[in-house]
């Protein structure tokens, strides 16, 4: 038997219907976050395939011969016979910076022999060269002599491991 509804009475809405806007918003947020995660994953996947913008122009031997050795020789010479003029101290600072940057050049992909010891040795040279820069800036010949010993030790440690004998 059918019952007739009173047209003056409102139909009651199911309880879940009040939650529909919240459910829709949550679904939208999930959709956006999934798209964001997917885009981030695609970027990371593509990143290793991108080429470096560096174009190596010199070999390790050329970097050593053209930059590292002359810069370190200038520091070794100044440790024995300190500069006498302001210009000579400035030139020594520049040589210390050249030596430091040559350590960075040696760590570039395509030159680095490995990712552990090679980088450690190159960083040690850069750090010692920056100590030489500080000594030259302070015009401290005693500190320069100590730093020269550190530079020599880093060179020897690296050459013992990597230089063909």
3-state secondary structure the chain: CCCCCCCCCCCCCCHHHHHHHHHHHHHHHHHHHHHHHHHHHHHHHHHHHCCCCCCCCCCHHHHHHHHHHHHHHHHHHHHHCCCCCHHHHHHHHHHHHHHHHHHHHHCCCCCCCCCCHHHHHHHHHHHHHHHHHHHHHHCCHHHHHHHHHHHHHHHHHHHHHHCCC
User: What Rg, from alpha-carbon coordinates, does the chain have?
Assistant: 33
CA distance 83 to 136: 9
* pLDDT higher than 80, residue 113: yes
The pLDDT score that the predictor gives to residue 40 is 58
* pLDDT higher than 90, residue 15: no
Question: CA end-to-end span of the chain, whole Å?
Answer: 106
More confident residue, 9 or 53: 53
pLDDT band at 46 (very low <50, low <70, confident <90, very high): low
The pLDDT score that the predictor gives to residue 84 is 95
The pLDDT score that the predictor gives to residue 119 is 92
* pLDDT higher than 70, residue 47: no
CA distance 39 to 92: 50
Average pLDDT rounded to a whole number, residues 120-148: 96
* Average pLDDT of every residue of the chain: 82
**CATH-assigned architecture of domain 60-162:** Up-down Bundle (1.20)
Domain ranges of the chain: 20-47, 60-162
Report the predicted TM-score, pTM, of the whole model to 2 decimal places.
0.68
CA distance 95 to 129: 9
Q: What is the pLDDT of residues 66-112, one digit of tens each?
A: 999 999 999 999 999 999 999 999 999 999 999 999 999 999 988 88
């Amino acid at each position: 038997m059918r019952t007739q509804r009173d047209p003056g009475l409102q139909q009651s809405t199911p309880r879940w219907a009040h939650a529909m806007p919240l459910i829709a918003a949550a679904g939208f947020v999930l959709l956006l976050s999934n798209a964001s995660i997917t885009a981030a994953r695609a970027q990371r996947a593509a990143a290793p395939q991108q080429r470096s913008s560096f174009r190596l122009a010199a070999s390790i031997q050329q970097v050593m011969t053209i930059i590292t050795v002359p810069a370190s020789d200038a520091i070794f010479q100044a440790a024995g016979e300190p500069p006498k003029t302001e210009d000579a101290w400035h030139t020594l600072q520049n040589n210390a910076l050249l030596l430091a940057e040559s350590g960075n050049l040696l760590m570039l992909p395509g030159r680095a022999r490995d990712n552990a010891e090679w980088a450690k040795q190159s960083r040690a040279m850069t750090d010692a060269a920056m100590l030489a820069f500080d000594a030259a800036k302070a015009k401290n010949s005693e500190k320069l002599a100590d730093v020269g010993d550190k530079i020599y030790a880093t060179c020897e440690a690296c050459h013992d491991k990597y230089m063909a004998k």
